[in-house]
Amino acid sequence: MDLDALAGCLASPACLVTQTTSGLIIGMLLFLVAVGLTLIFGVLKVVNFSHGAFYMFGAYFAMTAYQLTGSFALAMLCGAAGTALLGLIFERAFMSRVYGADVLMQLLVCYAFVLIFDDVVRMIWGPEFKSMGMPSAFQVPPLFIAGGVVPPYYLLLIGVALVAAVILGLGLARSRIGKVIRAAAHNPGMVSALGINTGLIYGGVFALGGMLAGLAGALAAPVRSLTPGMGFSVLIESFIVTVIGGMGSILGALIGALLIGLIRSFGSLGFPLFTEGLMYLFMVIVLVSRPTGLFGKEVA
């Protein structure tokens, strides 16, 4: 424990800015993964245990696209579009077969794919750590805000995630498709009776969730190292986020992700060995006081 370091940081604006930005990028990446998880759970009532794999694929797709074309924008696009397609195929071909079956089956199908996807990545890209490298457009001197160092790429990352959050929130609340999705979450039988193809909606939601995770992976690729199995720790953390925020709530995922991000970045100063433990501790406190999460609705 190093409480002096934590107190010292809280007193200095420079350190405060640096730690908050690093907390925000952890939080925003987690949000993109967690919001897909929570969306899929809200509509399809399954927990996509293999969601971390989409994050991983997003990162690898982006790296390959970047190496081939040298275009950062294209790399992001490839990461997102590739995982969206993967999500659609995965849902239609496999997950749709275990809806209504018990949770054990759903977990097992996903567990199988965690194993398969990790090995597929190992086959294609090799088992060693890979790095995409920072695109040249962002290899510029960092910004100084109140004395704290902020790389410009971080701002882009936070911006993209925020835009995604706003589009997603508004789209679900206001647009026609958003209404259909919410209706399908509420009563799929009725939606289907009204002549709407629920299979298409399910596939679409899964693709959307996969795309968001893939986008997160692609955004993370320049700043983190790529390895098979990288998705799993993200999965656990984003699950903690959804548990804290409440399953099925987008706002909850955002708040939960930011809280976890800040806990991680400031916790690493005060409790360097127990940073992960802090996260779990926080989750336990939330669960004990509010078993359905901060923004979760009571479900029967």
Partner 1 sequence: MTELQAGQEARPLEVPRIDARPQRYRDVLIALAAFAALALLPMIFGSKSLLDFVIRCSAYGLFATSLNLLVGYTGLISFGHGMFFGLGAYGFGLMMQKTGVPIPVAFVATLVITMVVAGVIGAICVRLKEIYFAFVTLAFQMLIHSTILSWQSLTGGDQGLRGGIPRPPFLGIDLSNHLHLYIMSCALLVIGLLLMRQIAQSPFGYTLRMIRDNATRASFIGIDVWRAKLTIFVLAALFASAGGMIMALFVSGAYPEFAYWTISGEGIFINMLGGVTTFLGPMVGTVLLLILNDTVTRLTEYHGIVLGIVILFFAIGLRKGLMDFVVEWIAQRREKAGG
Residues of the shown chain interacting with partner 1 in the complex, contacts defined by CB under 8 A: 41, 47, 94, 97-98, 101, 103-105, 107-109, 111-116, 118-120, 122-123, 232, 236, 239-240, 243, 247, 273-274, 276-277, 280, 283-284, 287-288, 291, 299
Using the minimum distance from each CB to partner 1, give the nearer residue, 114 or 161: 114
Q: Minimal distance in Å, beta carbon 155 to partner 1?
A: 31
Name which of 112 and 173 has its Cβ closer to partner 1: 112
Nearer Cβ to partner 1, position 117 or 154? 117
The nearest distance, CB 24 to partner 1, in angstroms, is 23
Residue 206: which of 287, 113, 142, 115 has the closest Cα?
Answer: 113
In angstroms, give the least distance from the CB of 193 to partner 1.
Answer: 27
Whether residue 241 contacts residue 260, with contact meaning beta carbons closer than 8 Å, is answered with: yes
Minimum distance, C-beta of residue 23 to partner 1, in the bound complex (Å) = 19
Of residues 97 and 186, the one with the C-beta less far from partner 1: 97
CB of 274 to partner 1, least distance (A): 7
To the nearest whole angstrom, how small is the minimum distance from the Cβ of residue 126 to partner 1? 12
Is the CB of 147 or the CB of 277 nearer to partner 1? Answer: 277
How far is Cα 120 from Cα 243, in angstroms, rounded to an integer?
30
3-state secondary structure the chain: CCHHHHHHHHHCHHHHHHHHHHHHHHHHHHHHHHHHHHHHHHHHCCCCCCHHHHHHHHHHHHHHHHHHHCCHHHHHHHHHHHHHHHHHHHHHHCHHHCCCCCHHHHHHHHHHHHHHHHHHHHHHHCCCCECCCCCHHHCCCCEEECCEEECHHHHHHHHHHHHHHHHHHHHHHHCHHHHHHHHHHHCHHHHHHCCCCHHHHHHHHHHHHHHHHHHHHHHHCCCCCECCCHHHHHHHHHHHHHHHHCCCCHHHHHHHHHHHHHHHHHHHHHCCCCHHHHHHHHHHHHHHHCCCCCCCCCCC
Which of 125/232 has CB closer to partner 1? Answer: 232
What is the closest distance, in whole angstroms, from the C-beta atom of residue 8 to partner 1 in the complex?
A: 23
Q: Which of 148, 172, 159, 200 is nearest to 44 (CA)?
A: 200
Minimal distance, residue 300 CB to partner 1, in Å = 10
Q: Which is nearer to partner 1, 97 or 297 (CB)?
A: 97
What are residue 243's phi and psi, to 5 degrees? -65, -40
Nearer to partner 1, 171 or 229 (CB): 229
